[in-house]
Chains A and B, each alone.
Chain A
Amino acid sequence: MEVETAQEDLKPAPGQLASSPFINKIVAPGDIVLDLAQLSIPTLRLGGGLRQDQDLVIATKAGRLKYIKPNKIWVEGSQKRYIPSLEDVVIGFVVDRRSESFTVDIGGPVHGSLSIFLFEGATRRNIPNLQAGSVLYMRVVKAHRDMTPELSCVDATGKASGFGHLKNGYVFQCSTGLARALLSRPTCPVLEALGKSLSFEIAVGLNGRVWVNAASVSTIILVSNAIMNAEFLSAAQQQLMVQKLLQRVQES
């Protein structure tokens, strides 16, 4: 196994960021990841799960320390509770309707707000008809800890491009880590295996909500259970699990 946990005595090394001994290792809160005084880079961009204390960069979450050239580093972990961040795709449902916006539950610390104009083709006369409980696929357009997260059902060019009201189907909750795995490329093995023999629609929000729709209820049940089961399985195990589920359904 290649995952290594950062050793207790590991110390930040001088030189380039990429050569830091912590990159791609699992870190825990309190671990000193970098010593800026010893680094020879002009700017560094810190993502989630890290904080700076004078010259030290310290982890605040348990997870894997990730690095993208030239200077971005962050801690990637899996948690159940979603914390909104910019440009995340999320699934939420309408809780309340105000004159200018919808209040949407996205499973985060506070409800999000979705302007009635941020739908494709929406005008003051053409307000989308959404009731409390309607399920929406959205992206986060404003996320700041002191403000209500703002959501949008259009992409940057004003087109719907998949965002909007999700009709029918079933929504279930999983961890944020699994949601990220489902959205990542190459396609997650469980989706790959399911897609080979079943036809269904799926929308995954980074907030850990997954929406599934298919022609028959039994397909929806199978797909959602397969995804929930996949959480703690390796790629080969996921394929095997899907095959077993399919077999069971065909037999009965």
Chain B
Amino acid sequence: MVVGLSAAERRYLTDGIAQGLRNDGRGLYDFRAFSVELAIIPQANGSARVRLGATDVITSVKAELGRPQASRPSQGRVEINIECSSTAAPQFEGRGGEDLSLELSRALYRSLLCNNGTGPAIDLSALTVIEGKLCWNLFIDGLVLSSDGNLLDVLAIAVKAALSNTGIPKVEVTSAAAAEQEADFEISDNPDDFSGFDVSHVPVIITLTKVGRTYIVDATEEEESQMSSAISIAVNSAGHVCGITKRGGAGLDPSVLLDMISVAKEVSKSLLSTVDAEIMAAESRGDDQM
């Protein structure tokens, strides 16, 4: 549904935020409650579904063996592709969602891996099997099923959850042949014989949306429609800022920017612990089912 707001609603929203009140009763820096489900796509190596309010996303991680790039022989490759399903909004029909999809994919890539692939989230050299010959390539696919604002933050949580759920099969190299020859290898078909991912370094993203003079965390779609600009800040468990993306059309005062970063750092502490707790809870639920 297109957010059509009356003048009264608009004023109410912005005035409320200026007074530190939001229309769902949250404080300015509060996240909505969210839930995590793991391993919902059986044919993927790892997957997760995260629901935050009415925002609903699925991410999957698929690992494929491939040849490393000649320029980086000792590294695997990671691709992030986000798709905005037209089920989330009629505007995404046809090619309508492409711009947003690309913006989200790039922002995630920048925060998790950075442009030269030395980012904080995934250790690319751990993906190498035989240097220069064989490596794992990770394909991270995200799908936005329903959108009620704050897509980037939710997607980052979902990627972290999906990676925590990812198992990569052990590869047995049978003949370490000469440099020119193709290597022979065997993929272990024992389902217990895989290596997991350490996701403790994967950052979360906190988007601060500026409405009027104030900025808020985890904006809903209605609130986003009133934003002047937004800053997405990726923060990891060590409190390091891992990536910043500014979105929205209006300009931003540099002094406000530094304030925003310190707020994001503060918020990230509690968010990271909630995310970890939710992932743990989802894991134990999954174990019970088996």
Direct contact of A and B (CB under 8 A): yes
Binding site for B on A (CB under 8 A): 93, 105, 131-135, 166-172, 217-218, 220-222, 224-225
Q: List 18 A-B contacts (CB under 8 A).
A: A132-B7, A133-B5, A134-B7, A135-B9, A167-B8, A168-B11, A169-B8, A169-B12, A170-B9, A170-B23, A217-B15, A218-B21, A221-B21, A221-B22, A221-B23, A221-B25, A225-B24, A225-B25
How distant is A80 from chain B, measured CB to nearest CB, in Å? 8
In the complex, the answer to whether B8 meets A133 with C-beta atoms within 8 Å is yes
How distant is A23 from chain B, measured CB to nearest CB, in Å? 34
Size class of the B contact interface (CB-based, 8 Å): 10 to 19
In the complex, the answer to whether B15 meets A171 with C-beta atoms within 8 Å is no
**Distance, CA A132 to CA B24, complexed state (A):** 25
In the complex, the answer to whether A222 meets B25 with C-beta atoms within 8 Å is yes
Nearest B residue to A165, CB-CB:
B8
List 6 A-B pairs, minimum CB-CB distance, nearest first: A133-B7, A93-B6, A170-B12, A135-B6, A135-B8, A133-B6
**Residues in A whose Cβ lies below 8 Å from that of B255:** none
**Distance, CA A133 to CA B11, complexed state (A):** 11
> Which of A133, A167, A168, A172 is packed against the most chain B CB atoms within 10 Å?
A133
Q: Does B269 contact A (CB under 8 A)?
A: no
In the complex, the answer to whether A171 meets B8 with C-beta atoms within 8 Å is yes
**Residues in B whose Cβ lies below 8 Å from that of A221:** 16, 21-25
Q: Does B110 contact A (CB under 8 A)?
A: no
**Residues in B whose Cβ lies below 8 Å from that of A134:** 6-8
Q: Which of B77-92 contact A (CB under 8 A)?
A: none
Nearest B residue to A212, CB-CB:
B12
**Residues in A whose Cβ lies below 8 Å from that of B22:** 221
**Residues in B whose Cβ lies below 8 Å from that of A170:** 8-9, 12, 23
Q: Does B289 contact A (CB under 8 A)?
A: no
How distant is B211 from chain A, measured CB to nearest CB, in Å? 15
In the complex, the answer to whether A224 meets B10 with C-beta atoms within 8 Å is no
Q: Does B4 contact A (CB under 8 A)?
A: yes
**Residues in B whose Cβ lies below 8 Å from that of A133:** 5-8, 10
**Residues in A whose Cβ lies below 8 Å from that of B9:** 135, 170-171
**Distance, CA A135 to CA B231, complexed state (A):** 33
Nearest B residue to A211, CB-CB:
B8
How distant is A104 from chain B, measured CB to nearest CB, in Å? 11
Nearest B residue to A209, CB-CB:
B6
Nearest A residue to B6, CB-CB:
A93
How distant is A250 from chain B, measured CB to nearest CB, in Å? 14
In the complex, the answer to whether A171 meets B21 with C-beta atoms within 8 Å is no
**Distance, CA A225 to CA B16, complexed state (A):** 15
**Residues in B whose Cβ lies below 8 Å from that of A169:** 8, 12
**Distance, CA A209 to CA B9, complexed state (A):** 12
> Which of B8, B11, B16 is packed against the most chain A CB atoms within 10 Å?
B8
Q: Does B174 contact A (CB under 8 A)?
A: no
How distant is B180 from chain A, measured CB to nearest CB, in Å? 65
12 extra interface residue pairs, beta carbon distance < 8 Å, beyond A168-B11, A220-B12 = A133-B5, A134-B7, A135-B6, A169-B8, A169-B12, A170-B9, A171-B9, A172-B23, A217-B12, A217-B16, A221-B16, A221-B24
